Structure 1
Amino acid sequence: MDWLNYHHLLYFWVVAHEGSVSRASEVMHVTPATVSIQIRELEKALGVRLFRKAGRGLVLTEMGEAVYRYASEIFAMGRELIDMVRGRPLGQPLLFRVGIKDVMPKVVAYKLIEPTLNMPEQVRLVCREGDFSGLVADLAVHRLDVVLSDTPLDPNLKVRAFSHLLGESEVVILGERKLAQRLKENFPDSLDRAPWLLPTDNNVLRRSLDLWFADHNFHPVIRGEFEDSAMLKIAGKAGVGVFAVAAAIRSEVETMYGVELIGKIPSIKERFYAISAERKLKHPGVVAISEAARKRLQ
């Protein structure tokens, strides 16, 4: 029987995922020469070329693409096997590593995660915030158990992962009390030329609001654009402008920032997703998030 060296296969998979030997060597904490040797050994064992040069980088050959797909399945199943057999170290809290997309509202993220802290078994929660593609890469190599996002997985990303819709929420407009009282009258027309605080243009909600402004021929006076949703809300609390949030977290935002409801925009929906390496959710923490989200994201 021909035996496959899974150590060599792992090096190949990381190079294919990262797009270069140098980047793979950084991820795996070895020298580029070590990575190259492992790739050559795998190609020799299989009797095929897996990569070809393209400029300064590497791209997969047709056979390399096929091997990459098999490798992704193999390592995903291996992770599932380990999870099933081991569960977690005896007597230790359940480790739950969550990635949070950097532009996702943190109040929403906490509301999604909170049920895991009330599970019957003790959980040690580790939250990491970052760029979506980086978080998905960490998910693929099992540094994270789930990624929470306001967008589904991009099908162009070369990674075996699955998007699970947790729920959706209408959007409400909030503002400091005096500003809110003035703009409640004649809503939503009152929002034309009103002072606005908006997410930056890499945010899904921002794109939805821009379309809504265009549909209504509104001309917002943009007082600020924020990547950090907490800073946006602080500016809203100070009365700098009005802002939009998911209706599901309205009460929390009103309490935390002392703002009031101006009106609701039913035509805009915010959707939230759990990105996992498994087609079927299995980690107890991810299952708890999914089940609670059905009630909380309405």
Structure 2
Amino acid sequence: MSTRLNLKHLHYFWLIAREGSIAKASELLDLTPQTLSGQLSSLENHFGQPLFRRENRSLKLTEKGQWAFHYAEQIFALTEEMQAGIEDFERKGPLKLKVGIAASIHKLIAYQLLEPLTQLERPLNLRCHSGQIAALVHGLKKQEYDLVLTDQLPDDYSTWNMTAHTLLTTPLGLFATPEKVHQLQAGFPQSLQGEPLLATSFSTPYFQHLMLWFQKQGVTPHLVAEIDDSALIKVFGSQGKGIFAAPHAIGDEVCRQYGVEELAVIEGVEDTLLALTRTPDPQHLGVRELLRAWVHS
């Protein structure tokens, strides 16, 4: 076995594993599948074991392949971050930052989390995209985003070799129109029995905890809608279509913007906001500033 690892071969292996096939990786690299297959064989000879096995016409990582891929992910995530940083410094223009934001995150909270970036000395070119967490994590993995803001982790998060940084934890509040709040205050929380309830997503951890809280109180609200847009759910709530939950930390602003009132703060039921990054210690100046403001404050 050679004592020196060929990083070019490792890069080819990483792309094959990421794309799921030699054919897809060869298109990205503009190499023939035969050439790429030969380079992969050289790397497998270096490790002394196969890194892939064929399964139903697709490539699956072996145990040794999973081990190698974990390290390759870290190596090439740092390499691409460094290259992006070099390009930013060479341009000497605004610092580009691409952020993915889970649709279930309330937009006022998202702004609050991003606000420290407006204090950077260097001008910032900020691009935000809202979407479903699985697609956002996939985009982060493929360098489409520099970080992802989310209030939940995908089911297969442990296989993505990424880092989750806790930014903010806040108790949940329940909100409704002033008329509905006045009606429900007497006898709360039993007054919630059968009341229409709006949800951003049934799968978010905070909503599941809220449902457990209802259960402990012996009440069962009536789930009338799942609306995966945090701004739209407030519009529905402001029109009297149901009660909705939002972070207490932005309660005053929610009430001001949507003409609703906070019925109650549900202590013990919290919304946790996370930042996902490709590496534990990202070097992007904007990402580092955001983490410094929230994680290290």
Q: Which residue of 2 aligns with 1:235?
A: 236
TM-score with structure 2 length normalisation?
0.86
Q: Cα offset for 1:265?
A: 0.3
Distance in 2, Cα, partners of 1:294 & 1:65: 30
Change (3 A) 1:223 1:139: closer
Change (3 A) 1:40 1:267: same
2:40 paired with 1:38: no
Change (3 A) 1:163 1:80: same
Change (3 A) 1:248 1:145: same
Q: Deviations over 1:43-73 (max 9, x none)?
A: 2354143211112321112332232123223
Worse overlay, 6-15 or 108-117: 6-15
User: Which blocks of at least 5 consecutive residues in structure 1 are unaligned?
Assistant: none
For 1:105, the aligned partner's letter is H
Structure 2 residue matching 1:236: 3-state secondary structure: helix
Identity %: 31
Change (3 A) 1:156 1:244: closer
Q: Which residue of 1 aligns with 2:112?
A: 111
Q: Cα offset for 1:283?
A: 2.7
Distance in 2, Cα, partners of 1:252 & 1:281: 32
Q: Which residue of 1 aligns with 2:218?
A: 217
Q: Cα offset for 1:114?
A: 2.3
Q: Which residue of 1 aligns with 2:159?
A: 158
Any residues of structure 2 matched to 1:124-273 within 5 Å, and which?
A: 124-152=125-153, 156-273=157-274
Any residues of structure 2 matched to 1:2-41 within 5 Å, and which?
A: 4-21=5-22, 24=25, 28=28, 34-35=32-33, 37-41=35-39
CA RMSD of aligned residues (A): 2.8
Check whether the contact 2:22–2:37 (CA below 8 A) recurs between aligned residues: no
Worse overlay, 42-51 or 256-265: 42-51
Change (3 A) 1:233 1:129: same
Check whether the contact 2:136–2:148 (CA below 8 A) recurs between aligned residues: yes
TM-score with structure 1 length normalisation?
0.86
Check whether the contact 1:187–1:262 (CA below 8 A) recurs between aligned residues: no
For 1:237, the aligned partner's letter is S
Q: Cα offset for 1:103?
A: 2.4
Distance in 2, Cα, partners of 1:147 & 1:71: 21
Distance in 2, Cα, partners of 1:257 & 1:22: 51
Structure 2 residue matching 1:88: 3-state secondary structure: helix
Distance in 2, Cα, partners of 1:153 & 1:81: 27
Check whether the contact 1:166–1:272 (CA below 8 A) recurs between aligned residues: yes
Check whether the contact 2:50–2:64 (CA below 8 A) recurs between aligned residues: yes
Distance in 1, Cα, partners of 2:286 & 2:18: 27
Q: Cα offset for 1:221?
A: 2.2
Check whether the contact 1:153–1:275 (CA below 8 A) recurs between aligned residues: no
Change (3 A) 1:97 1:13: same
For 1:183, the aligned partner's letter is L
